Structures are given as C-alpha cells and as structure tokens.
Structure 1
Amino acid sequence: MISRLFVLCLLLASLFQCASTEDILPPGMGEEEMASDRIRLNQMGIYPNSTLRFSIIAWEGTTDTLPDGQPAPVAEEPAAWYVTAEEGKVIIADGQVGELMDWSELGGVKAWYVETPAPAEGSYRIYVPGVGYSHEFDVREGVYRKALLGSMHSNYLQRMSIDLPEEFAGPYARKAGHPDTRVKFHPSSGRTGYTSSPGGWYDAGDYGKYVLNASFPLAQYLTLREDAGLQIREGDLQVPERTNGVEDYLDELRYELDWLLTMQDRDGGMFHKLTTLNFDKMIMPEETTEQRYIIGKSTEATLNFAAAAAQASRVWTDVDDKYAATLLKASIRAYTWAVENPEMGFTNPEDVTTGQYGDTDWSSERAFAAAELYITTGEEKYLDAFMADYPGDPFRAGGGWKTFMGQMALFTLTRFPDGVPAEVYDRAKADILTTADSLVAEAERLPFHQPISVFNWGSNSDVLNAAMLVATANRLDPKPEYRDMIQASVDYVLGHNAVGYSYVTGFGDRTPMFIHHRPSIADDVAEPFPGFLSGGPNPKQQDAAWATYPARAAPMQSWTDQEGSYASNEICLNWNAPLTYVLGYLEALNNR
C-alpha cells in the first residue's frame, strides 16, 4: 500500500518537511555502506504499473554460512518494510511483513515474501529495520533496454575468425581466433581431407561450434523477431555491420547462419560439430594451436538446422530475397536427408571429449523442422509430418532443447492462424494455454515465484524458456497473470533468488565475476565479458572436483561464482537466447 504519511508529505511538500521519517529511517545509505544480502530483489528494476517483489531472508536455522562462506548473522524477525528514495531519506511506501515461509528443503532459505504495487518512476531502495537497505532499483520505462542490447552484443563478443577491435568490443577487444580455414574431417564425418568453415559464434565457455546448439538458439532469436517485431535496429549494437542498411539484430544472426551453411555436406546432411578432439586450455582464442575437426553427422543436428533455416528464410524474405532463397533451399535439402536417415544419432567417438549434444528421440526435432517448413512453404506434406510427431511432451524443467523444440513448433503454428487448419491451430493453442496455466500455478507456490522447482544444468534457461512459453500464451490470450509470471522470471534471474546474485554478467549490483568462459578467464580484464547468463543452480554438481559449493547447499543454492564451475557458472548460446527473447518481449509489451 502507499503510505498515508507519504501522501500527506506530497500535499504539504511546498511548506513543510516530513520530519517523522527520521524516526523510522537511519540517516541514509552512504556510498561506503553495503546493501544487505538478506533483502533479495531484481537489481535492475521494474516497469511502472507492475509488481514490486522482494524477499527478506532469515538465515538462522537454515544454514551455517552465507553463500559467500561468511558466518550467518542472527536472524531478526522484521515487522515492517519501507520503499525509500533519495538514498534512503524519504519513505515512498510501507507495509507489514507477513508470515515467515519455509522453503529450506528446496531453496535453502526461510524468507518473508512481499508483493506491492510499483511506485512511480524513480530510483529506490527497500529498508527493513534490523536488516538494512537493499540494492538500488529503478522503476521506469525501458528498464531492460540496456540488458537486452547487452545480451545480444554478447554474441558479437563470441565471434570467431575475425579481430574484435576496441571500437566494437571495448576493453574486451582481442585478435582473431580460430580461422577454421583448414579444418580436418574426422573419420566419424564420413569424409576425408580438409575443408574451410570459418566464422560463427563460440558455443559456450569452450571454443567449439556445434550445429545443433547454433540452430536452436537462432530459432529462439528469430522467434523474438516474429513475435515482437523490430526491437534492435540498425546502429543499436556495436557491430561492424551497423551502417549496412540492415537491422543489427539480423546482422548478428547472419554471422552464425553463414557459418552453419558451411557445415552442410554435399548430400544435404549436417555435420554435427567443429571442435578440437579435447577442450582447449584456459587461454585466449588466438593462442590455441590444436588441430580442429569436422566431427560426426547426425539426424538431430540436421533437423535443427532445417528448422532454423526455414524460419530464417521467412524473416529474410523482405530483407534479402536471394539469401532467403539460399536458406530455404538448404533447409529442404537438410530435411530430405533427415527423412532418409531418420536414426543417425550422434555420440562422441572414443578420441573426442568435447560437447556431445546428442539425442535418442528425434520426434521433437522432426516436429520442429516440419512446422517451420510448413509455415514457410505451405506444403501439406510438412503439416502431415508434423501431425505424425505432434509434441505430446509439455514443458518440463531439465528437458532443454531436447523437448523444447516441440514447444517451438507449437509457437510457430499459432503465430500464423490464417495458414493453419482450424483444428490444428485450436489444439496447439489449447496445449500452450494449459501448459502456461500450470507454470503460473507452479510459480505462485514457489519461494521467488520462479516457474520451476527442479534444477538441472542450465536451470536459469529453464526459467526463461518457461517464461517464453507463457509469453506465447499471452500473445494468444492476454492475461495479467501471464505477464506477471514473465516479470517474476526476470526478477529471479536478475537477483530475486536464493543466492542473491543477478545471474547476468555486468547487469546488476552483484553479478558473477568468475564465469566459466575461457576469454574472460584468460584476458587481463578483471570483469568478465558482459551480457552473459550464468547457467544457474545445479545440485548434481558435476564439477565438484574443480569448484567449491556452499556448505549443505539446497537445490536452489547449488551455484558458485567460480571459474571451475562449468556445471553452474558456465555460459551458453542456448541459455542467452531465451534471456534476449524475454527481455525483448517485455520491452515490446511495455512499449505498446
């Protein structure tokens, strides 16, 4: 509720000061004073007319140490909270703390959870007597604009085979790494000799390029373009193509698409990946010397490429019709090969240890490719193929790209209702809305109103993929609870969570500093590359030999800001893509 005291202050502001605030608040928050880690909230901010969420953590009785390893303070039971402005000197809103909620089994925390309407535009802090002040947060239009651009610019920082000059990369400028102009065919590829396959983005914290995990995130980026229109225009990104007459968003996506086209074999199938036999050391890209290989050829990679290329062909039709035609031709050739080779799965050869990205069930990939080709071409055979593999697996945390591609197919079919038979459209819409409603219900019962209660490798991307699905539901049937859940998901990744970090490097007051990302580790810049989403809590802790987790960490606390933590603190293309989508979708929604 808005404080009655604040309303009175507004009425009398020209005549009097509200001196009674001094009886409640300390003198204010000086520059040297640290924000209390016990107050968790979105560290960037929220939109006007939205909901402000924050939690007050009760450490005592739930853990012996804080996430940073320091002894836990004795928990005081707070009675009230205040939204303050002007460095904590003016009360804007207040309220009473409610019931202490026990999420210790899941989140490792007991906490008081608070929701209140967002104040007017401005900069604020939460103050809780006996606890302290929160991080500062903004309430304003365009509050995620910089983070949106940063998340997209991170792809430029992952570009291979070219120099990244200071003009476009700032302090993260570096020399070209991995020209990939003389790549050797591994025996698993079915070819011999050498080929050229330059360009593209590094996949994650390693220096590999993977066809499946290039195609899937590209499709998510393209989905934002189709769902929300033009969000990143020419000149918005610091990229070399920023004055070529094409929106920077598509310029960046094309850099990856151009590389993917080089990975198509003469028969239409897609080689699975381009990597060294083993992961490179923690050195800069230009310092690597190991031979790189084209490794494997697979149904899953080929179907993913067919889907992304068909979707990209639609998007490029009005931008570059020749390029659109090239993409569509490559998509059809890939799909045809996959139909003729329906079970050519990929597993790493004995001499290869880089990322596998394999699958054993290709139904979601087939549905994904068929749906995109049907919408792009209108040919009934693709619709028939889609219906034969209609996605029956709703969203589930941990499914990742293996199952979410089926959801992506449904998103596409419901985006073009005039081109889809009514019974197919109605079924797909109903399935999306049913899943979205279940995700909203799940979020409402969970500690930080995130939509997942199971945490796996890349759990933060699960949160954002769920938000992406709910965004599609909101497009089909706009509801306040859908929009609210999308916002709650962004709140979660930006600081309203069990570890008190904004998981996006460079965006927030407390962000990861030691991500598992070779250039960030090997360069001479203290801060990691900005705009990357850390993977998030992962109780399996596959990296426990190289990273130290909080003592007795519950699932939502199973994250550590250490370079060795590839299981919780790495970055990856298919984690950043839904981050860009959700930020871009919210920005578009709030600009309407």
Structure 2
Amino acid sequence: MSKAVQLSYNQAGYLRHGPKFAALARETSGQLPWTLSEAATGVVQIQGITLPAYRDPLTGALLHCADFSSFKTAGVYIIQIDEIPSEPFRIGDNLYGTLTRDALHFFYLMRSGIALTEQYAGKAWARPAGHLSDKDIRAFAGTDAQGTKWDGCSFSIDGSGGWYDAGDYGKYVVNGGISVWTLQNAFERMPDSFSDGDLAIPEQQNGIPDILDETRWELEFLLRMQIPSGQPLGGMAFHKLHDRVWSGVPAELPTYMDNNNEMKDGASWGRYVYEPTTAATLNLAACAAQAGRIWKTFDKAFAERCITAAEQAWEAARTNPIILAGNVPGAGGGNYDDVNVEDDFYWAACELYASTGKPEYEAFIRNSPYFKTFQGLNGHGAAYSMNWADTAALGSITLVTVKTALSEKDINEIKDLIVKTADRYAVIQRNDAYATPIDASGFVWGSNSMVLNNAIILALAHDITGDRSYLSAVSRAMDYLLGYNSLRKSFVSGYGIDTLEHPHHRFWANDPVKGLPPPPPGVICGGPNAQIQDPVAEALGLIHRPIPMRYVDEIGSFATNEVAINWNAPLVWVASFLHRAFQR
C-alpha cells in the first residue's frame, strides 16, 4: 500500500458517461465533505457530502464514498474527501482505447522464437529471440514426481514460437487455449474495434487485424504441439513445454539452450515437451475450430488447416478421453493439471459445431450437462464463470455469439443463464464496498483475472438485455483494478500513480543496474490471494491481513504478483468493450 495514495479511486480516470466514485477509509462517524476541482486551476466544479459510511465486509474498513457520477465534463481533475486529495486524473470518452492497445501489445512482448526489435517493442523491451532451440525438442522420458515412468516418443518436435506463459519461460497448450479464445472472441464479438495497424508488430499493414496476427503467433505453436497422424496417439496435443528445472528470477533469456535431447543423466536437466493430455487436445480443438471460422475471410488455407487440426484433435480426444495431467515432471514449470475434462469436451464441441454445423457436434452438445447450466450460478461454481480449468462457459458464449442452427428457444435459454449469472455477480458487487464482482472465494491465485472474467459476463448481460446497469457494473470492476480498492493500488502497469512495478517476471525485473526493464504499460498482475503460496507472502505475514489486502508488489511474490497471458487476455476484452460502449 502506498503512503502517497490516501484515497481509493480509479487512478487512470473515469468515463464521462460512466459511474464515478472515490472513497476514503476512516474510522469516523458521519458524512464527510468532498469537492471535485480542476487540476490546473483549483476551481471547484462540483461538491457534496459522502454517502452514508459503509463497513466493507471483507476488509473491515469503514468507507466514506463520494459519488460524482453526475459530472460529465471532460478534463483533468482532483477529488478531495475531507480535504484529502487524489492525484490528478482524467474524465473523458477515450479512456480505454490506449489501454486496449497496450494490453494487447503485451502478447507481442511475450513472444518466443523471434527477436523483438526496437521499432516494434520500444527501446526498453527490445531483446534477442528466445529459445530458437525449441524448434528441435524431444518429449520428456523419465520418472516424474509421482513416480510415474514416461517413455517419451521416437520423434523430435518443433515447439518453436508461441507466447511465454507468465513470468517463466514455459509454454502451455491449456493456458494458451483460453488466452487465444478470449482474444478471438473479443474480435468475433466486436470486429469493428480492431483493425490492421493498431499495434506495433511486424505483421502490421498486411490487411489482417493485428489482434488476429497476434493470436496466430500462438495458434501456430498450438498446431505444432499436435502429434502427427501415423504416430502413437496421433492427433493428441502435448500438454506443455518447459525447462526440466526452474530457472532463477530474474534470469537471462537464452536464444539457444541445450535441450538435452539425448536424455543424459536421466533427463534431470534440459528442456522438453511433456506428455499429451486430453485437456490440451481439446483446447487445441476448440481454439483451432474457432480460428477456422474467423480466418476464412482473411486466409482460407489457414482456416481450412485449423478446421482439419481441430477435427483430428476431437477424434483423438474421443479415443483417449481420460489422459490427464499430473505433477509432471515435478519442477521447471506449472502443472495445469485439469482432472475434469467434460467441460473441455463441451467447449470443443460448441466451437466445432459453430464452425462446421455438423450434427454430430450438436448431438454431443445436447447430451452434455453443460448445455443447460452455466458456471457461476449457485451449484455450478460460485466464484467465477471461467478460467483455464473451467471452460464450459466459453462454449455457451460461442453458441449465443455465432449464428448456428440452434433454435431461438435454445439460444434464449442460454442467454437467460448468462443474465442470471451476471445478476449474481452484480449483487456481490453491490454488497462489496470496493465494487468487486467476486466474493471471498474468488481471491485465489490470479484473482484479478476472476474480476475480469466476471466482468465479461456482466458485459454479455448488457449486450443481451440492453440494461445499462450491467455496463456500469463492468466500469466499476475496472475501477477496482485501477485503484478503487483497499490497497489503493493500480494493478495495471503504467496506469495510475501507484501501479504495478515489480512483477514476478524473468526479464521485466525492473533492475536498471542489471539492464532489466520495468514492465511495459498495460500489464495486469495476479492480485490478492487468500492463500499464502510463496515465501515472500509468508515472510511478510500477509496471512494476517484481510483477504483483499494479501498482495505485495515484489518480484519474489509469484502467487500475488506474477503476470500471465490468460490474465491479460480478458483485460483486452473488457477494455475494448468499455472503449466501444462509451464512445460518443
């Protein structure tokens, strides 16, 4: 928590026609005076008294809240509550356009297998290509942490390209899946929000929206992770690719490394792909099917290639429905060990049906329990609607986004489930003094992504119903992430006065002496985590803080301050939604 910031407010600013709140946590009775003044002149524009004080149930803080939503004049302002001022912030319409581009540019800066030039990355973040040696890599053969022996495979794999997953140098099909889907869904729902030339990337000005160029970089990696036909388990996808042991933090990004393809020393070192799983295969099937329909107007050959790979993955997963990930190999990377893949089957079937219209996929959808339920409703996951391990909602969202042969009755029933889920999040948000659309159970590793994914559901409810209360709820969720929280911290780098500065990241270590840059603007960190899951959080005694305050902006706190592709993807979605919705 910064001593310089004494008010909770959106440090990046407020939309002219959106809600505007600022708050002071203070143990005092009665309502407090507030003023909104021009930053340049100090002239008061509007004033009032705070709403009746409200004790936040999760932090215990007594909050005095100023509501200045009625003020709609663009400019730069300072809010004061009981003479305690904010830093200057902006009120305007074009508040989230730049954030959308910065959050999307994050993915270019996370690319593996390509040099990031100063022209596209900027001087601070330009770097040599990482892990070109992934082009010739083998599957891990050895005994994992659970004592299971893996035989590997007889052929080498081209694992080049893709995005680094988070603060480490691993690349994961499962987490890549929801990240690609979220970005592609943002384009599919809001194609007019994205164009060619939006981003500083090498593919700009090629006639294809830059968001699709960026997702293709990851898609090509996902496609390369599919086992070729004719090989054992052909059509399945390898689960992940990473080092055998963890690297240090920070760590130099290697252009080439010895992958230990000969498996010397019992594969105790090196870099490998790890065994295929049903979950990874279905992630590939879903994202490739989604890409197949999106890309057909831009690159027909690539679209057809994606559909072919998706259908091969589907058939392989149906043949091998319970090859599950475990603690393999036990170090060097995350497990992403999804033990329930029925939701992934449903998601993949929805995407394949939306892209091909084949009755076999419709039949599977109708026989799935997920067809008439929705994650996030009581009894189906209280904290959130989707994450990398829970993907059924992605399929249902596609069914109400893409025109298919489903009846209007079927589509309306799914829409009704989405709206009911959004209503539940709206109630949670109204009961939270900091307008967070997650309850205590949502403060897990990556809680900020739970806020964003729930905001997507609120945004969908707005699109379905036209009710602007959902639009306000999305805006308030973004307020929370950008400083209207108990920590008075913007969790997005470069957006606010007290922002993310020291993420858990190998090369964005913010150490000028060692030549390591700060995080680029537009990167969101994981956020408060109720569980104490890293040594820094333990040493600082975060367990003794209220749950929403169990966060620290330190590089060693991987459980609260890491960054990840599946967290920045919904930031792109929500920022682009707000930018479009509030343009006047």
**1:529-540 pair list within 5 angstroms:** 529-540=520-531
Matched AA of 1:139: I
The structure-2 alpha-carbon separation of the partners of 1:161 and 1:529, relative to structure 1 and needing over 3 Å to count, comes to same
**1:107 corresponds to which residue?**
59
**1:13 corresponds to which residue?**
none
**1:308 corresponds to which residue?**
287
**1:342-361 pair list within 5 angstroms:** 342-350=321-329, 352-361=331-340
Q: 1:108 offset after TM fit, Å?
A: 4.8
Alpha-carbon distance in 2 for matches of 1:351, 1:43: 41
Matched AA of 1:158: M
**1:279 corresponds to which residue?**
246
**2:19 corresponds to which residue?**
51
Q: Which moved more, 1:133-142 or 1:392-401?
A: 392-401
**2:191 corresponds to which residue?**
229
Alpha-carbon distance in 2 for matches of 1:124, 1:251: 38
Cα deviation 1:240-260 (Å, max 9, x = unaligned): 111222221111111111111
Matched AA of 1:156: Y
The structure-2 alpha-carbon separation of the partners of 1:510 and 1:77, relative to structure 1 and needing over 3 Å to count, comes to farther
Contact 2:445–2:560, Cα closer than 8 Å, also in 1: yes
**1:244 corresponds to which residue?**
206
**1:372 pairs with 2:351:** yes
Alpha-carbon distance in 2 for matches of 1:200, 1:76: 55
Cα deviation 1:155-177 (Å, max 9, x = unaligned): 11101111111111111111111
Q: 1:164 aligns with which of 101, 116, 120?
A: 116
**1:94-493 pair list within 5 angstroms:** 94-103=47-56, 106-117=58-69, 118-130=71-83, 132-170=84-122, 171-179=124-132, 180-187=134-141, 188=150, 190-266=152-228, 267-282=234-249, 283-286=251-254, 289=257, 291-350=270-329, 352-391=331-370, 392-395=373-376, 396-397=382-383, 400-401=386-387, 404-417=390-403, 419-454=405-440, 455-493=443-481
Contact 1:186–1:192, Cα closer than 8 Å, also in 2: no
**1:83 pairs with 2:64:** no
**1:503-582 pair list within 5 angstroms:** 503-521=491-509, 524-525=515-516, 527-545=518-536, 548=540, 552-582=544-574
Q: Output the TM-score relative to the length of structure 1.
A: 0.87
Contact 1:88–1:127, Cα closer than 8 Å, also in 2: no
The structure-2 alpha-carbon separation of the partners of 1:340 and 1:230, relative to structure 1 and needing over 3 Å to count, comes to same
SS in 2 for 1:106: coil
SS in 2 for 1:95: strand
Alpha-carbon distance in 2 for matches of 1:234, 1:346: 38
SS in 2 for 1:83: strand
Q: 1:109 offset after TM fit, Å?
A: 2.3
Alpha-carbon distance in 2 for matches of 1:550, 1:433: 36
Alpha-carbon distance in 2 for matches of 1:386, 1:551: 43
Q: 1:377 offset after TM fit, Å?
A: 0.4
Q: 1:417 offset after TM fit, Å?
A: 4.8
The structure-2 alpha-carbon separation of the partners of 1:177 and 1:579, relative to structure 1 and needing over 3 Å to count, comes to same
**1:590 corresponds to which residue?**
582
Cα deviation 1:142-187 (Å, max 9, x = unaligned): 1111111110001111011111111111111111111112212113
Contact 1:36–1:134, Cα closer than 8 Å, also in 2: no
Cα deviation 1:49-91 (Å, max 9, x = unaligned): 2211111122x6xxxxxxxxxxxxxx79762001110336111
Contact 1:313–1:376, Cα closer than 8 Å, also in 2: yes
Q: 1:459 offset after TM fit, Å?
A: 0.5
SS in 2 for 1:107: coil
Matched AA of 1:152: L
Cα deviation 1:346-375 (Å, max 9, x = unaligned): 112355441111111112111110111111
The structure-2 alpha-carbon separation of the partners of 1:278 and 1:387, relative to structure 1 and needing over 3 Å to count, comes to farther
Q: 2:9 aligns with which of 41, 55, 61?
A: 41
Matched AA of 1:372: E
The structure-2 alpha-carbon separation of the partners of 1:41 and 1:351, relative to structure 1 and needing over 3 Å to count, comes to closer
Q: 1:121 offset after TM fit, Å?
A: 0.8
Matched AA of 1:160: S
Q: 1:107 offset after TM fit, Å?
A: 2.2
Q: Which moved more, 1:461-470 or 1:118-127?
A: 118-127
SS in 2 for 1:56: strand
Q: Which moved more, 1:542-551 or 1:226-235?
A: 542-551
Contact 1:467–1:485, Cα closer than 8 Å, also in 2: yes
Contact 1:541–1:568, Cα closer than 8 Å, also in 2: no
Alpha-carbon distance in 1 for matches of 2:40, 2:81: 14
**1:6 corresponds to which residue?**
none
The structure-2 alpha-carbon separation of the partners of 1:247 and 1:402, relative to structure 1 and needing over 3 Å to count, comes to closer
Alpha-carbon distance in 2 for matches of 1:400, 1:109: 30
SS in 2 for 1:212: helix
SS in 2 for 1:143: coil
Q: Which moved more, 1:419-428 or 1:201-210?
A: 419-428
SS in 2 for 1:82: strand
**1:70 corresponds to which residue?**
none
Cα deviation 1:293-314 (Å, max 9, x = unaligned): 0101101111111111111111
Q: 1:545 offset after TM fit, Å?
A: 4.8
Alpha-carbon distance in 1 for matches of 2:422, 2:330: 43
Contact 1:108–1:498, Cα closer than 8 Å, also in 2: no
**2:379 corresponds to which residue?**
none
Contact 2:183–2:573, Cα closer than 8 Å, also in 1: yes
Alpha-carbon distance in 2 for matches of 1:236, 1:373: 29
**1:502 corresponds to which residue?**
490
Q: 1:209 offset after TM fit, Å?
A: 0.3
Matched AA of 1:539: A
Q: 1:507 offset after TM fit, Å?
A: 1.6
Q: Which moved more, 1:356-365 or 1:577-586?
A: 356-365
Structure 1 unmatched ranges of 5 or more = 1-33, 61-74
Q: Which moved more, 1:278-287 or 1:497-506?
A: 278-287
Contact 1:36–1:133, Cα closer than 8 Å, also in 2: no
SS in 2 for 1:119: coil
Matched AA of 1:240: P
Contact 1:88–1:125, Cα closer than 8 Å, also in 2: no
SS in 2 for 1:185: coil
Alpha-carbon distance in 2 for matches of 1:499, 1:437: 27
Q: Which moved more, 1:182-191 or 1:90-99?
A: 182-191
Q: Which moved more, 1:526-535 or 1:268-277?
A: 526-535
SS in 2 for 1:296: strand
CA RMSD across the alignment: 2.1
Alpha-carbon distance in 2 for matches of 1:557, 1:339: 44
SS in 1 for 2:58: helix
Alpha-carbon distance in 1 for matches of 2:239, 2:412: 36
User: Percent same amino acid among aligned pairs?
Assistant: 30
Q: 1:288 offset after TM fit, Å?
A: 7.3
Cα deviation 1:35-57 (Å, max 9, x = unaligned): 95221111111221221111112
Matched AA of 2:117: P
Alpha-carbon distance in 1 for matches of 2:580, 2:138: 45
**1:67 corresponds to which residue?**
none
